[in-house]
Structure 1
Amino acid sequence: MRRLSLALLVAVAAGSLSAPALADGTPKAGAAIDPALAAAVADPLRKDDAARDVYRKPDKTLAFFRVGPVMKVGEYAPGGGWYSRLLGIYLAPKGKLVGLFGDASGASAERQAGMQAAVAKFPAQVAGWAAQPAERFSAFSLGAVPAGEKGTFDRILLMRAMHNLLRSKTADSELATMRDLLKPGGMIGIEQHRAKADAPDAYVDGSKGYLREADVIKVMEAHGFAFVGRSEANANPKDPANWPDGVWTLPPSLDGAKDDATRARLQAIGESDRMTLLFRKRS
């Protein structure tokens, strides 16, 4: 299958893209939430994370991604663990959560060691957050996929991670590996900071955190995925998406809060406008 470089796609992508209709069965806005997911979202173990639910809409997002409680789900670049904690609670009883860490084989020795440490501690870390046995969770690097893992995942989630794939120029290899991990018909769900459709190329190179929705769709299609549909669950029309210092100007980072008045203005805007997209692995 022909691979196109992500940088080239971003450079040539149109400002907008006519997307196909939602596939049959794709959850519509307001679709019923799985009771087990609703219970996980409301779990007291999430008390420190729940304040951000108003911005991140985890119930609507995971329902749109069709994540079920008996699935094997990979979370790419788990980061601070906000979604890991929820997914751990939701999936541990009957499903499986796997932390998927980036391929650091070409990085410095220090970075490789850091990645190995993150992989090693992920199962116990999530187990502590979710109050579940560590054996319910696993993790590995995409640079060292264990035997037997290919073709076993129902879902892979990229939660605000696509800009880092672009910025590090690792999208081609990482997406190819993720595709191999999915079962036939398996899906990737993407939540990503959304630039305006007419944002200049220089602004959407990944360094600002924002990407154009059309570019993300085109990249995924070029890597063997069919576009299933979009949700506006994580949209925020108050975000102008043109911050000179990038998305980190806004909450929760609030790097742009130089004084109390600015902090209040940014908090009133809330977190970034985000696209929520679903893709199916093509055979």
Structure 2
Amino acid sequence: MRRALLTLSSLIGLVAAPLAADTGKTAPTQQCKGCEALLELAASSPLRKDDRARDAARHPVETLSFFRVGPQMKVGEYAPGGEWYSRFLGLYLGQQGHLVGLFFDPTSGAFKPDRQDGIRKAAAAYPADVAKFTGMDASRFAAYTLDAVPEGEKGTFDVIIVPRMMHNLLNWNIADSEMKAMRALLKPGGLIGIEQHRAKADAPYSYTDGSKGYLREADVIRFMEVNGFDLAGKSEVSANPKDTANWPGGVWTLPPTLALKEQDKAKYLAIGESDRMTLLFRKRD
């Protein structure tokens, strides 16, 4: 493991100069030259032996490259949950960058008291969780609930990623407040990368209100524009034309959840994970 970390550190040095002009008070606006090689190195770490099975469906290298996540950046992961992306980002950012877990505001009105307590405990445990996986010191990582972010953190983040969570925020009616809090954390020109299960463009609102997991791409773009962001790019890296996006039980019918268990399991495995939009937004002045 030490040899792999040293190799990653030496490669970071090769891209440090191109990144130097992008560090400071303003977030970078250009793609990071050479970062894909570093992301590939993180992806191939032996420490990810149990996580790597999801790479074919989640495309972490291509997605994080599209989100312009450089190895020296300060990056927030919103709603880390199972910490799959956290473990990857910990390896990638843990030496010269800074990874911060951003957890729900427990007081937003969406959570009962026991769930509020669980959110705070998860945030408190996050740095040690990532440190244990990566073998790095816990001081390399941080976490906050969005109601308890230190004032000095505002305006310091280069990128925040929001993987497959927008449907919950809209369904729970906390999307505006959570996005406002994240926007405040970003530097001028900072970026938010959103990966989200994609409904058909003509799907009815009754299916795209968040309760089925799917959202219309145009609705997500409009929401972000209203909340002070401009669309910076789209990627089809996680598109899946086999997904009809009209399952009565929602996106959880498909892998990895397979909510119907053994019923038509082979069919759903053949379809694969959901069709997903991958969108990048820039904070508007």
Normalised-by-shorter TM-score class: 0.7 to 0.9
Alignment correspondent of 1:72: 74
1:134-213 matched pairs, under 5 angstroms = 134-213=138-217
- Answer whether contact 2:198 2:245 (CA < 8 A) is retained: yes
Number of the residue aligned with 2:25? none
What is the distance in 2 between the residues matched to 1:204 and 1:139? 31
Task: For 2:204 and 2:268, locate their aligned partners in 1 and report how far apart those are by CA, in whole Å.
Answer: 23
Q: 1:132: how far off?
A: 1.3
SS at the partner of 1:199?
A: coil
More helix by share: 2
What is the correspondence of 1:78-157 to structure 2 with a 5 Å cutoff?
Answer: 78-105=80-107, 106=109, 107-157=111-161
Give the TM-score normalised by structure 2.
Answer: 0.87
CA distance in structure 1 between the aligned counterparts of 2:213 and 2:136, rounded to whole angstroms: 33
Match of 2:12 in 1: none
4+ residue stretches of structure 1 with deviation over 4 A? 24-27
> For structure 2, which runs of at least 5 residues remain unmatched after alignment?
1-28
Which SS does the other structure have where 1:38 is aligned? helix
Return the alpha-carbon distance in structure 1 between the equivalents of residues 279 and 193 of structure 2.
6
State yes or no: 1:56 paired with 2:58.
yes
Consecutive unaligned residues of structure 1, counting only runs of 5 or more, are 1-23
What is residue 222 of structure 1 aligned with on the other side? 226
In structure 2, distance between residues paired with 1:204 and 1:257 = 24
What does residue 249 of structure 1 align with?
A: 253
Equivalent pair of 1:26/1:229 in contact (CA under 8 Å): no
SS at match of 2:281: strand
1:26 Cα offset (Å): 5.8
**Deviations 1:202-254, CA, capped at 9 Å, x for gaps:** 00111110000000000000000000110000000001111100111111111
In 2, Cα distance between the equivalents of 1:35 and 1:64?
Answer: 13
Change (3 A) 1:139 1:25: closer
Q: Counterparts of 2:57 and 2:114 in 1: how far apart (Å)?
A: 35
- CA deviation vs aligned residue, 1:102-143 (integer Å, no higher than 9, x gap): 111144321221111011100001111222111110000111
**Which whole-Å CA distance do the structure 2 matches of 1:33 and 1:231 have between them?**
17
Which amino acid is 1:231 matched to? Answer: S
Alignment-mate amino acid for residue 47 of structure 1: K
Q: Which amino acid aligns with 2:241?
A: P
Task: Please tell me the root mean square deviation across aligned C-alpha atoms, in Å.
Answer: 1.4
Q: Bigger relative contact order, structure 1 or 2, given CA contacts below 8 A and separation 6+?
A: 1
TM-score, normalised by the number of residues in structure 1: 0.87
Check whether the contact 2:35–2:65 (CA below 8 A) recurs between aligned residues: yes
Amino acid at match of 1:276: T
Residue 155 of structure 2 contacts residue 188 of structure 2 at CA under 8 Å; is this kept in 1? yes
* Partner amino acid, structure 1, of 2:60: P
Amino acid at match of 1:279: F
State, as a whole percentage, how many aligned pairs show the same letter: 62
Q: Which residue in 2 is equivalent to 1:3?
A: none
Q: 1:257, 1:266 within 8 Å by CA — same for their partners in 2?
A: no
